[in-house]
Structure 1
Amino acid sequence: MIQWRRGVVVEIRARWAGAVEYAVRLASGDVVRALGYVEVVGDLGPGTTVLLNTTALERGLGTGGLAIVVAAPDALPRPVDDVTAVRGHVVKARYTPSQTMVLGVDEQHSEHHAVLADADDLDGMPVVVADLHSALPAVLAGLRQAGPSLRVAYVMTDGGALPIDFSRTVAGLREAGWLEASVTVGQAFGGDLEAVNVHTGLLAARHVVGADVVVVSQGPGNLGTGTRWGFSGTSAGEAVNAAGTLGGRPVCSLRISEADPRERHRGVSHHSLTAYGRVSLVPADVPVPVLPGPLGARVLAQARELAAASGGRLDLHEVETDGLEDALRTSPVALRTMGRGYDDDRAGFLGAAVAGRYAARMQKV
């Protein structure tokens, strides 16, 4: 179902990349936070009447807990005079009211089509795969600490948010120069490059961007149902398969927590155990952070069990964490995962950072 509301823009509260956060007053008099994408609804000013989708907001969801501006009926963006003249023909968010047409990096009208037409190899490039979008800045902190000159691209899959402009994290990392480029794949859209799937996204990152290392994760927002298989992070295992199939070197970033109230996510999350242990089918490296005390022992035991169950497919590497706290604190964007900051759940960010450190060392070998 969809919950529709009408409202009037009261003020602009924030803007980043192609997104704007508005304060919108509803007919009830309540003022809500509402997100508008400039390429979808235009750049709106105070006094503009808007149509909102408030479903996630009214359900009290976390990442999706905003009203979304669907349209400004009296202030529609200027239409394209001849849509047939638009070079791109890749449609994303397909068959939804907000479907958008983009120029795919791999399609015939792209200037990069010749490069990608027969591209089939990542040339041994390390590909760090993470379950949660919140791991991205931590992976990059580890990468930069070990290999500050490496060119890094981000491939965003469609397991979470579809518009990359939703992510303040990506906007901040691009602005700070921590990312060379972003590539949105599948139904996700809005990256520096658009690709049909994770395979061509990885190939574009290597052969068009010229990346030395790629990080892959879903966009902000992680769907989970508390069941073994019902979570969007299974896409991490599929990304490992794509990287390995294309001759890359997959690096599995473990989702770790010392503070999650749910037992299934304590130590190594069951999301990582399922995605890497059951969904991925190709050889991959699994960096394990060396953590102190009972938590460190638990994480190592879980990782060893994961590797043993893989029959030798997954190769464990214990990675020290010295110096990573300082590296993480240099992040140009906030470190937050599942509502917790670095000081609330250090293990989670260190687990991602060692994956970045390990990948950088692989590239330097």
Structure 2
Amino acid sequence: MMYTEIGKVLEVVGDDGDLIELKVQVGEQVEKAFHYQEWHQKKPAIGDFLLLNTTAVRLGLGTGGFHFVIHVLGPDRGGFHEVHTTAVSQQPGHMIKLRYTPLQRKMLAAEEEASPVHHLFHKHKQLQGLPVLIGELHSMLPVASSWFAHQSRMEKRPIPRLVYVMTDGGALPISFSSHVRQLKQSGWLHGTVTYGHAYGGDVEALNKYTALIAAKWVLEADAVIVCMGPGIAGTGTPYGHTGMEVGEIINAVRSLKGIPILMPRLSFADRRIRHQGLSHHTEGILQIAAMSPAVIPLSSIMNEEHKRTIQRQLEQWGIPEKHEIHWCEMSSEEIRSAIGLYPHSMKTMGRGLDDDPDFFSAVCAAAQYAWSLIHAPD
């Protein structure tokens, strides 16, 4: 998915301290390259050899259509004595992810004209009531999936065709997720879609709208889970965290005629006051980012004191006037049974089920609500 070649610096065309424009010789060609000083300790000099990302130029693309310096090898090629080219799949594809960086790579987007499923994006523009579970933490993915597997076993029904849509709010390569590997091996996860600058899913998409359409119409999902890859960035400020994307996804699902179901970030074990009860992240998502209504399932197993805290937060934030609150009946034994089906340790922020039962019950409640939609009478 990436071309890398050796080039030699012929001229330093411009240097603003952060970005250096170079004229380089690559093979028989004299071409333009860019060097980001923040990526390197050494500045390139005339006569230096460079390891270059030449992907976009070799593909003749406009987007990202320059060479970018991966590494300054120095005047002796740094041990590279032959032109070094990483093999690139000859399959079609002109979408560039990690654009304009030394690591940019080309992908075949499902929406592209060269894609065998391109026609589906003309034919289908709605989700037709598809249940879409939306959360801000990657740890919610195995919890919700385990609940689907549990319900399938208890009701003797097939496991729904569950599709995971990974955003670019956390890790970008989906291969970094051990949960995705395990869920696919278990047969609980039917397929994956990556969009934005996240990459490596079974299907690649440009944006959240086409990712959702791909989940429904390319992978034929019965239900979808959308959340970022491992790792969330936060600052302790009301809106300064990557979880704010959840509100945007709620809007997208609703506008495409799907059912947005929030997996709320809920905990009474987190030592940080701002994350106790419903997290302040959830407050910002529902108050500010989500302009469309979402369903917010909550579990009945919370003790009365915790329920009162949650209800007080919801009322203070004006959530019931904007979103639909749904209390799900379930037992602690059911949740423990569901989590127990997962073959590896399941934790969130370092806490397991015994440490933080309300987090797990809230995600299971959201999954149960989705399950009930899947199996609702026609």
TM-score (norm 1): 0.76
SS at 1:288 equivalent: strand
Distance 1:335 1:77 in 2: 43
Q: State how far apart, in whole Å, the 1-side matches of 2:351 and 2:187 are.
A: 25
Structure 2 counterpart of 1:342: 353
TM alignment of 1:254-265, pairs within 5 A: 254-265=264-275
Which of 291, 294, 302 is residue 313 of structure 2 equivalent to? 302
Who is 1:105 aligned against?
Answer: 110
- For 1:360, the equivalent position in structure 2 comes to 371
The residue number in structure 2 matching 1:231 is 241
Contact 2:150/2:337, CA 8 A, preserved across alignment: no
Matched, 1:143 2:148: yes
- Partner residue of 2:137 out of 132, 141, 166: 132
Aligned amino acid, residue 176 of structure 2:
F
Q: Report the equivalent of 2:193.
A: 183
Which residue type is aligned with residue 101 of structure 1? Answer: K
Q: Which amino acid aligns with 1:288?
A: L
Q: Offset at 1:178? A: 1.0
Q: Could you say what secondary structure the match of 1:250 adopts?
A: strand
Q: Give the partner amino acid of 2:312.
A: A
* 1:100 Cα deviation from its structure 2 partner: 1.2
User: Is the Cα contact below 8 Å between 2:167 and 2:226 reproduced in 1?
Assistant: yes
Q: Contact 1:152–1:213 (CA<8 Å) still a contact in 2?
A: yes
Shift of 1:86: 4.0
Aligned counterparts, 1:27-66, within 5 A: none
Q: Which of 76, 86, 97 is the aligned partner of 1:79?
A: 86
Shift of 1:79: 2.3
Question: Using the alignment, how far apart are the partners of 2:191 and 2:349 within structure 1?
Answer: 25
Pick from 287, 304, 321 the counterpart of residue 312 of structure 1.
321
| Cα shift at 1:240 | 0.6
Match for residue 163 of structure 1?
173
Could you tell me how far apart the structure 1 residues matched to 2:99 and 2:344 are? 31
CA contact (8 A) 2:193 2:215 kept: yes
How far apart are residue 297 of structure 1 and its match?
A: 2.5
Letter aligned with residue 313 of structure 2: Q
Of stretches 101-110 and 339-348 in structure 1, the one that deviates more from structure 2 is 339-348
**Whole-angstrom CA distance in 1 between matches of 2:254 and 2:239:** 22
Q: Which runs of 5+ in 2 are unaligned?
A: 1-36, 42-69, 72-78, 153-157
In 2, Cα distance between equivalents of 1:218 and 1:224: 13
Q: Which amino acid aligns with 1:79?
A: T
- 2:237 partner SS: coil
Partner of 1:196: 206
CA deviation vs aligned residue, 1:47-103 (integer Å, no higher than 9, x gap): xxxx99xxxxxxxxxxxxxxxxxxx9799986237x7x5401111111121111111
Would the aligned equivalents of 2:109 and 2:205 in 1 still touch at CA under 8 Å? yes
SS at match of 2:187: coil
Distance 1:75 1:340 in 2: 51
Q: Which moved more, 1:345-354 or 1:222-231?
A: 345-354
Instruction: Quote the residue 1:21 is aligned against.
Output: none
Percent of residue pairs bearing the same amino acid type: 36
Q: Which amino acid aligns with 1:351?
A: A
Amino acid at match of 1:117: H
Q: Assess, with a 3 A threshold, how the Cα gap between structure 1 residues 208 and 231 changes in structure 2: closer, same or farther.
A: same
CA distance in 2, matches of 1:181, 1:4: 38
SS at match of 2:119: helix
Q: For the structure 1 residues 75 and 260, does the alpha-carbon distance in structure 2 shift closer, same or farther, using more than 3 Å as the test?
A: farther
Shift in Å at residue 321 of structure 1?
Answer: 3.0
Alignment of 1:89-104 (within 5 A): 89-104=94-109
Q: What is the distance in 1 between the residues matched to 2:308 and 2:329? A: 14
Q: Once the two structures are superposed, what CA deviation does each residue of 1:263-290 show, in whole Å capped at 9, x if it has no partner?
A: 0001111111111222111122110112
User: 1:88 aligns to what?
Assistant: 93
* CA 1:156–1:77: 2 relative to 1, 3 Å: farther
Aligned with residue 271 of structure 1, among 273, 281, 292: 281
1:244 matched to 2:244? The reply is no
Question: Which residue, 204, 211, 223 being the options, matches 1:213?
Answer: 223
Q: Sort the Cα spacing of 1:149 and 1:3 in 2 relative to 1 into closer, same or farther, 3 A.
A: same
Instruction: Count how many residue pairs are aligned between Structure 1 and Structure 2.
Output: 297
Computed over aligned residues only, the root mean square deviation of the Cα atoms, in angstroms, reads 2.5
1:280-299 pair list within 5 angstroms: 280-290=290-300, 291-299=302-310
Alignment partner of 1:324: what SS?
helix
**Is this contact kept in 2: 1:173–1:333, CA < 8 A?**
no
Bigger radius of gyration, 1 or 2? 2
- Cα displacement (A) at 1:298: 1.5
Q: Per-residue displacement from partner, 1:164-218 (whole Å, max 9, x unpaired)?
A: 1111111111111110001001110001110001111110000011101000001
Give me the TM-score of the superposition, normalised by structure 2. Answer: 0.73
TM-superposition CA deviations, 1:323-347 (whole Å, max 9, x none): 1221112123431111222222121
Residue segments in structure 1 that go unaligned for 5+ positions in a row: 6-50, 53-71
Name the CA distance, whole Å, in 2 between partners of 1:284 and 1:211. 20
- Aligned counterpart, 1:116: 121
**Alignment partner of 1:342: what SS?**
coil
